Amino acid sequence: MTFPLTRARRLRNSLPLRQMVQETSLSAANFVYPMFVVHGRDVKAEITSMPEVYHFSIDRLAAEIDDLSALNIPAVMLFGIPAQKDPIGEENFASDGIVQQAVREFKRVNPDILVMTDVCLCEYTNHGHCGIIHEGEILNDETLDILGKVATSHADAGADVVAPSGMMDGMVKAIREALDGDGFRNVSILSYAVKYASGFYGPFRDAAQSTPSFGDRRTHQMDPANAREALKEARLDVEEGADMLMVKPALPYLDVIYRVRQAFDLPLAAYNVSGEYSMVKAAAANGWIDEQKVVLEALTGIRRAGADIILTYHAKSAARWLKNNS
Ligand code: PBG
């Protein structure tokens, strides 16, 4: 069967035909919207390197929550900026911590939005590292106790899903045991199982004020050159009890998303991170690309690679475009 019997263009001839043979779907139902919450009153402050992404104080969340439900965005991932930072990040597991307050506000305003929380130390520690530091080294096992406390504290505030992002060995097991020990058997774990030591987190670290004060994250986050190792990381987290897996960043790692999708049957998320977002926003602001086309194409690509769930700062605008285009 070759030309002229076969003509690939036939199936592209009209919109209904193109829609009928479309292989990958993209919908707001796939999105998780990452948000940054801060102390104070009446704060909605745009993050310079991330246009249209804001720091919100608790009293400004309700309007945003209504926006998200109007756009049918099913879930958020919350990041908190504490009032004070210290060596272990005390506010991270305080019942009146900023994330705990935000979780309660979400549940008060709209209990149907799924609330996920990032579980890591780096936004809360004065050294900006993802674990406890001793003589310049990040201590793995000592950090696990704190991660368990953070996860149960978020669960106690009402979080539906906790998402450990610190790439400590054994973090999923420690969190599962802590949650179960406190009666939070139905709180799920979305593990940032495959997280690379990436340059694409730059704008996030401005937003979360979490740049390490010395060194970098290469002793725990993965080497961008490795893909087989991604399967090992994913397998370990599956064995420790993860309910869902994540690959992060997304666009430079579509092959990794594909491989993890093939090898595991858990729901798979991909994090379209801050640097990926800021590059698109900067190019669009310069008129160099068509933002809508590029964003929907990139998000479709992430889905085509195999992600069920996409964490993206584009969630609101993409949901709006998808709604208007349908
Ligand atoms: C760590 C964390 C980071 C991101 C999410 N969770 C930053 C890091 O590892 O330095 C990055 C997200 C982004 O860039 O959008 N708590």
The rounded distance, in Å, linking the Cα atoms of 240 and 233 is: 11
Atom of ligand 1 nearest to the CA of 211: 10
Q: Are 37 and 264 in contact (CB under 8 A)?
A: no
Cβ-contact 164, 175 below 8 angstroms: yes
Residue to probe by mutation, ligand 1, list 201, 205, 216, 251, most atoms within 8 Å of CB? 201
Residue 2 pLDDT: 94
Q: What is the pLDDT of residue 245?
A: 98
CA-nearest residue, atom 5 of ligand 1: 165
Q: Are strands 44-47 and 50-57 parallel, antiparallel or unpaired?
A: antiparallel
Contact criterion met (CB below 8 Å) for 188 and 244: yes
**Atom 8 (ligand 1) nearest CA:** 201
> Euclidean distance between the first and final Cα of the chain, in Å?
35
Any atom of ligand 1 within 6 Å of the Cβ of 122: yes
Cα–Cα distance between 121 and 119 in angstroms, integer? 7
Given the residues 248, 281, 316, 323, the one annotated as active site = 248
Q: 146, 273, 274, 302: which to mutate for ligand 1, most atoms within 8 A of CB?
A: 273
At 224 the pLDDT is: 98
268 neighbors 309 (Cβ within 8 angstroms): yes
Q: Compute the distance from residue 197 Cα to the ligand 1 centre, in Å.
A: 10
Whether residue 227 contacts residue 220, with contact meaning beta carbons closer than 8 Å, is answered with no
248 in active site? yes
Distance CA 57, CA 133 (A): 30
The percent helix, strand, coil of the chain (3-state, each to 5) is 45, 20, 35
Domains by residue range for the chain, with CATH: 26-325 (3.20.20.70)
* Cβ 204 under 6 angstroms from ligand 1: yes
Per the listing, tokens 């964003």 go with: 295
pLDDT per residue as tens, the chain (326 positions)? 899 999 999 999 999 999 999 999 999 999 999 999 999 999 999 999 999 999 999 999 999 999 999 999 999 999 999 999 999 999 999 999 999 999 999 999 999 999 999 999 999 999 999 999 999 999 999 999 999 999 999 999 999 999 999 999 999 999 999 999 999 999 999 999 999 999 999 999 989 888 999 999 999 999 999 999 999 999 999 999 999 999 999 999 999 999 999 999 999 999 999 999 999 999 999 999 999 999 999 999 999 999 999 999 999 999 999 999 87
Residue nearest to atom 6 of ligand 1 (CA): 165
201 CA distance to ligand 1 middle (Å): 6
Q: How far is the CA of 214 from the centre of ligand 1 (A)?
A: 17
Cβ of 167 less than 6 Å from ligand 1: no
Burial 275-310 (b: 16+ CB within 10 A, else e): bbbbebbeebeeeeeebbebbbebbbbbbebbbebb
Distance between CA 195 and CA 167 in Å, rounded?
7
Atom of ligand 1 at shortest range from CA of 123: 16
Q: Ligand 1 atom 2: the closest Cα is on which residue?
A: 165
Report how far ligand 1's centroid is from the alpha carbon of 25 (Å): 27
CB contact burial 248-258 (16+ within 10 A = b; e otherwise): bbbbebbebbb
Contact 112, 72 (CB under 8 A): no
Asked whether the whole model's pTM tops 0.95, one would answer yes
Amino acid at 200: F
Cα 70 to ligand 1 centroid, rounded to whole Å: 27
